[in-house]
Structure 1
Amino acid sequence: MQEDFLHYLWKYKKFDTSKLRTVLGESIQLLQVGEHNLNSGPDFFNAQLKIEDQLWAGNVEIHIKSSDWYVHHHEIDPAYDNVILHVVWEHDIDIFRKDNSVIPTLILQDQVAKTALHGYHQLFSKSQKWINCEQDFASVDDFVLQNWLERLFFERLERKSNAIQELLSTSKNDWEAVLFKLLAKNFGLKVNADAFFSLANAIDFKIIRKIQNKEQELEALLFGQSGLLETNVEDEYYKTLQKDYQFLKQKFSLIQEHVVPLQFFRLRPPNFPTIRLSQLAQVYVKNNNFFSKIIEANTKQEFYDMFKVTTSSYWNTHYTFQKSSKFLVKSTSNNFIDLLIINTIIPIKFSYSKISSQINTEDLIALINELDPEHNTVIKKFESLKPISKSALQTQGLIQLKNEYCNYKKCLQCAIGNTILNRF
């Protein structure tokens, strides 16, 4: 038995309310269950009920056992002085107020229908499952699913926004610098995300501003700071970049501290960090006042125009400095740009709109609904249960659902779990 389940039972009145009595035999008439409190303090605020002929208004506290009141030290916490009813699954001790009067206690165990308990035990059974509700997921109404996934998409945005606010505070409120750091991280994809992010943190964005129209110097800065120019390679372009980087290093007093080493292992050549760094450089060569352009743009095509770049010409015949390859122009793909929109553009637009008090959720929903659904193991598994992903909005919601609810078995805080339990 989980305390969350008792909260669910109380909140939705999933028990027989017609003949409620306290452990002392007093009749209880439930008028209002109160407001569910998910923070510290009593579980439900501003409940209203009648005990015998006395009308009470106050808070309700819920526990598995009555003695949990003392386990949690509520007896010394003034926040619990206004508790008018103690709701428990099992009563093992009386609870007293400061004036030594007994707090009325309701035992919920005998009031709950066996079908509701069966539904709860079925949902939380210990058998090996990918998610608790996988047997019932397909039967959940599409309207419930789509509304819940949209809410989860914004939950995920809020989490990303909090991280952006932290970046903003360490970047002296320079939105352009924050944008560069986020783009760098996401250009690194999963394998090199930390390395690219550490590289961006090792470069003062003022330097980017000064040299972003100089393709070769910008590439030298990124390759040099990432540690890719520290060996001896018999290659003319490599030696040119080395020379440029030494000049930049001396001019701007560059330091390579805390830069995570780049990884090539198990990457497809188009995703080698050399290729992605060159493409990142080209994005900044192409776009001045980049942050303003991103805030003003709203459609997928506008962002495709911004991020559709190739590498510098050297990389048309190379994937690494050590070896030449067959000629191939290496452009950013639409799928790659979609990931940038999902993981960088939409979060930064959302964060900026919150600060500027100009949140336009309709524009963000319209933008992410333009993007195709993502493809990964989590999405594939959900789709095997029920095909519901129409766009990246649903897939972002599903990722949030799995990571923040399913993995922690928060079914009682989930619209899907509540829908399934409400059947019983």
Structure 2
Amino acid sequence: MVFTEDFLHYVWKFRLFDRLDLRTTEGEELEIFSAGQHNTHAGPDFQNARIRIGDTTWAGNAELHLSSSDWHRHGHTGDGAYDSVILHVVYTDDQPVTLANGRRLPTLELKNRISADLYQRYHNLVFGNQSVIPCEASIGRVDPLTMQNWLTRVLVERLEKRAEAVDAALTLNRGDWEETFYQYLAANFGFKTNALPFELLAKSLPQNFLAKHKNNPLQIEALIFGQAGFLDGEPVDEYPRSLKKEYDYLRKKLKINPIENHLWKFLRMRPQNFPTVRLAQFAALVVQSSHLFSKILEVKEVKDLRKLFSGIEVHPYWETHYRFDKESLPAAKHFGQASVDTVLLNTVALFLFSYGKHMQQQYYISRALKLLENIPAENNHVTQEFTTLGVNIFTAFESQALLELKNNYCAYKKCLHCGVGIKILKPV
């Protein structure tokens, strides 16, 4: 069976070893007051540990290795960062370690102090042949409080990582929150399949260009469809012909060029989600909204946030078309509740969180989390997997957290860094 340093860290951190009559490898009495804080950066593994060796109490760092000879193999000899180590915790003591000042480094060997049962449960969890996640046989029995606390933490981790990307975009936009929000909102309208062309479209058509034509819906639609590359040919129907006429004029006036039309994907998409329909909905939102992000910051109630995106009605042409010059059976193309939820989840909640982090205002962070608690859970293969394992998923708060858990913990078998894994491993 495999023994890892991560497991040794876990055993030390939670003191899951036999502490009866503890002694160093040189036979001195040892008492552990604090294992210290786990350090995941450069330097000793645990900082600010407190121990007693003999009659002397020490405060400093602890370093952990599978074998004491790893001290030399890992290059700690002569490294000043390790001069403050007060205890070397090892699985096997195979070689004494002497510090630069000539002092023998006190060592605690754990080889015979870790229960076989604990190790077996760890081995089964991390190295078993599970098909979905390492703890698939146990996660459904983890108590609700542990699950909720851990899902909250990983959800915040997910939002913090995404907020870093928002900050980078904000820098490129010279601190303009409205423009950055507009670009993210556009990408959201494209779902995953057409997120890139939607984002390129928004960057090629800044909000200040659109603001000058707010009172003319036809010109807004012409700019959006024209910049998307859908007005390059010679349309037949009156509506696209009108759009082309307006766009040809505005294109010269604004000195803009469309993105490549081939970037848009139609294949294997439901007609209701064709990029042409989504562009029509996006144009309708632009027409009815101004300073949208500022409004989002001011609105306090979730129901009022929904109203900002509800009731978006597209041009009547799209009621009988999915593409230009190709008539179809009548079908509603309004911006439905599911689409509103998608925007609230992927853009609004993210920007409330990002703004709160950027401005150091917890109020907006709390609003972002509350919003996610009021959006129905996503239905995808990850949430379906967790549901079959007995995990209750009701809101986007939970589904987003479980996506992070699966992709950044379960997929890498980081069970010893996971609150759920730690709970399952801990002795009863």
In structure 1, the residue matched to 2:256 is 254
In structure 2, the residue matched to 1:311 is 314
> Residues 90 and 107 of structure 1 are in contact (CA less than 8 Å); yes or no, is this contact kept in structure 2?
yes
- What's the CA shift for 1:56? 1.5
Q: Deviations over 1:399-418 (max 9, x none)?
A: 11111111111111111001
> Residues 133 and 410 of structure 2 are in contact (CA less than 8 Å); yes or no, is this contact kept in structure 1?
yes
Aligned residue for 1:319, secondary structure, equals: strand
Aligned residue for 1:24, secondary structure, equals: coil
Asked if 1:421 is matched to 2:412, the reply is no
Asked if 1:408 is matched to 2:412, the reply is yes
In structure 1, the residue matched to 2:88 is 86
Structure 1 400/213 Cα, relative in aligned 2: closer, same or farther at 3 Å? Answer: farther
> Structure 2 residue aligned with 1:329, among 327, 332, 337?
332
> Structure 2 residue aligned with 1:117, among 75, 99, 119?
119
In structure 2, the residue matched to 1:344 is 347
Is 324-333 or 68-77 further displaced after alignment? 68-77
> Residues 374 and 392 of structure 1 are in contact (CA less than 8 Å); yes or no, is this contact kept in structure 2?
yes
In structure 1, the residue matched to 2:156 is 154
> Residues 202 and 259 of structure 1 are in contact (CA less than 8 Å); yes or no, is this contact kept in structure 2?
no
Aligned residue for 2:399, secondary structure, equals: helix
Structure 1 213/406 Cα, relative in aligned 2: closer, same or farther at 3 Å? Answer: farther
Two-structure CA RMSD over aligned residues (Å): 1.9
- What's the CA shift for 1:226? 2.0
- What's the CA shift for 1:257? 6.1
Within 5 Å, give how 1:267-416 maps onto structure 2: 267-308=269-310, 309-360=312-363, 361-416=365-420
- What's the CA shift for 1:258? 8.0
Aligned residue for 2:194, secondary structure, equals: helix
- Structure 2 Cα separation of the partners of residues 235 and 12 of structure 1: 72
Gaps of 5+ in 2: none
> Structure 2 residue aligned with 1:130, among 129, 132, 157?
132
Q: Deviations over 1:309-366 (max 9, x none)?
A: 1222221111011411122231111111111111100111111123333222443333
Is 271-280 or 232-241 further displaced after alignment? 232-241
> Residues 78 and 100 of structure 2 are in contact (CA less than 8 Å); yes or no, is this contact kept in structure 1?
no
- Structure 1 Cα separation of the partners of residues 231 and 86 of structure 2: 70
> Residues 200 and 259 of structure 2 are in contact (CA less than 8 Å); yes or no, is this contact kept in structure 1?
no
In structure 1, the residue matched to 2:200 is 198
Asked if 1:227 is matched to 2:204, the reply is no
- What's the CA shift for 1:182? 0.9
- Structure 2 Cα separation of the partners of residues 188 and 378 of structure 1: 21
Is 241-250 or 77-86 further displaced after alignment? 241-250
- Structure 1 Cα separation of the partners of residues 27 and 295 of structure 2: 69
- Structure 2 Cα separation of the partners of residues 198 and 210 of structure 1: 20
Aligned residue for 1:172, secondary structure, equals: coil
- Structure 2 Cα separation of the partners of residues 50 and 290 of structure 1: 61
Is 333-342 or 204-213 further displaced after alignment? 204-213
In the comparison of the two structures, how many residue pairs are matched?
A: 424
> Residues 185 and 343 of structure 2 are in contact (CA less than 8 Å); yes or no, is this contact kept in structure 1?
yes
Aligned residue for 1:89, secondary structure, equals: strand
In structure 2, the residue matched to 1:32 is 34
- What's the CA shift for 1:222? 1.8
> Structure 2 residue aligned with 1:210, among 200, 208, 212?
212
In structure 2, the residue matched to 1:96 is 98
Amino acid at match of 1:338: D
Is 54-63 or 360-369 further displaced after alignment? 360-369
Structure 1 257/378 Cα, relative in aligned 2: closer, same or farther at 3 Å? Answer: same
- Structure 2 Cα separation of the partners of residues 81 and 365 of structure 1: 44
> Structure 1 residue aligned with 2:176, among 174, 196, 203?
174
Structure 1 299/91 Cα, relative in aligned 2: closer, same or farther at 3 Å? Answer: same
Structure 1 319/30 Cα, relative in aligned 2: closer, same or farther at 3 Å? Answer: same
TM-score (norm 1): 0.95
> Residues 22 and 105 of structure 1 are in contact (CA less than 8 Å); yes or no, is this contact kept in structure 2?
yes
> Residues 128 and 134 of structure 2 are in contact (CA less than 8 Å); yes or no, is this contact kept in structure 1?
no
Structure 1 286/90 Cα, relative in aligned 2: closer, same or farther at 3 Å? Answer: same
Aligned residue for 2:60, secondary structure, equals: strand
- Structure 1 Cα separation of the partners of residues 369 and 220 of structure 2: 35
- What's the CA shift for 1:173? 0.7
- Structure 1 Cα separation of the partners of residues 323 and 250 of structure 2: 22
Structure 1 68/224 Cα, relative in aligned 2: closer, same or farther at 3 Å? Answer: farther
Amino acid at match of 1:404: N
Amino acid at match of 1:121: H
Gaps of 5+ in 1: none
Structure 1 3/301 Cα, relative in aligned 2: closer, same or farther at 3 Å? Answer: same
Identity, in percent, stands at 39
> Residues 24 and 30 of structure 2 are in contact (CA less than 8 Å); yes or no, is this contact kept in structure 1?
yes
- Structure 2 Cα separation of the partners of residues 324 and 258 of structure 1: 25
- Structure 2 Cα separation of the partners of residues 321 and 356 of structure 1: 44
Structure 1 119/210 Cα, relative in aligned 2: closer, same or farther at 3 Å? Answer: same
Amino acid at match of 2:396: A
Aligned residue for 2:135, secondary structure, equals: coil
